[in-house]
Copies of this chain bind each other. A is one copy, B any other.
Amino acid sequence: MSESTVAPVAPASTATTPATGRPASSYGAAPHDPSKPPVKRQIVCFSFYKVMPEWRRLPAEEREAHKKAFAAVLAKWNKPGEFLSLTYSTTGTRGDVDMCVWSIGYGVDELNEMRSELMSTPLAGYLTTPHNFLAMTKRSQYQIDRPDESESEGRGAIRPGGQKYIFIYPFWKTRPWYLLSMEERKRLMDEHIRVGLAYPRVKLNTTYSFGLDDQEFVVAFETNFPEDFLDLVQQLRETEASLYTLKDFPIFSCVRLSPEEMLNRLG
């Protein structure tokens, strides 16, 4: 498991040196230090959409036009360095949702405006949003510049969407966790991390939702090997830290596709 969560206490090179540079805890409540200089933090949103069955009764050409308009908004808001959206299909992996739009930007109002434009397309006349997770990074974590830009620009940042699958879920720790001493939490997370290191083909992204949404964290695991992720999660059940998990579902298995492909999987 390659860990790229960046808590304020982690050095900038965390993502490239996971074994030494990673934070003590991937889900821990790092002690807040308001005296630190502000960092440019990102707003992250995972929106899960479901098409109403009625949409599938429309003529094929009308559905095509709906898809085009929806994809056009996604394309318009693809602003290197400012706003990025990744698209996934959940057809067949979940019964309650059909697709996921994962957006990364720098402002809640900007996200509000972008989602409002998606909701102004004709497809939105047949869409519901059964799940929507709002979160922030602890600092700019994802590299959302153009792919052809210098690697050095994104040092320490993740380029999201590079794997075939993503597994997303909201996460809550129990309240007693937060009253453990920092040493005890570190001990528990060290065991947790040792398990993760055995699965280098799984990449973890952690974002924070305290006060912004129902959950405490949103975690997203990218991999080309679902079986690795299954085995990792099963093995993590045997760590002591697992006792401090309050809730870790719903879990969304998502297939990375272009906006057009994602929309075509709607039917």
Contacts and interface: CB of A to CB of B under 8 A. Distances in A.
A212 interface: yes
Contact of A213 (B120, B208, B211, B253): B253
B178 A238 contact: yes
Interface residues of A, number: 89
A184 interface: no
Interface in A185-209: 198-199, 208-209
A57 B127 CA distance: 11
Contacts of A41: 227
Contacts of A227: 38, 41, 136
Contacts of A175: 237, 242-243, 245
Interface in A25-39: 29, 31-32, 34, 38
A45 to B, nearest CB: 6
Contact of A89 (B55, B116, B231, B255): B116
Contact of A108 (B57, B128, B132, B253): B253
A264 B267 CA distance: 23
Interface in A152-189: 164-165, 167, 175-176, 178-179
A233 B165 CA distance: 32
Nearest to A114: B92
20 contacts: A31-B235, A32-B198, A32-B231, A32-B232, A38-B227, A45-B92, A47-B92, A56-B125, A92-B114, A93-B111, A112-B255, A136-B226, A175-B242, A179-B238, A179-B240, A209-B230, A210-B230, A211-B229, A211-B234, A212-B226
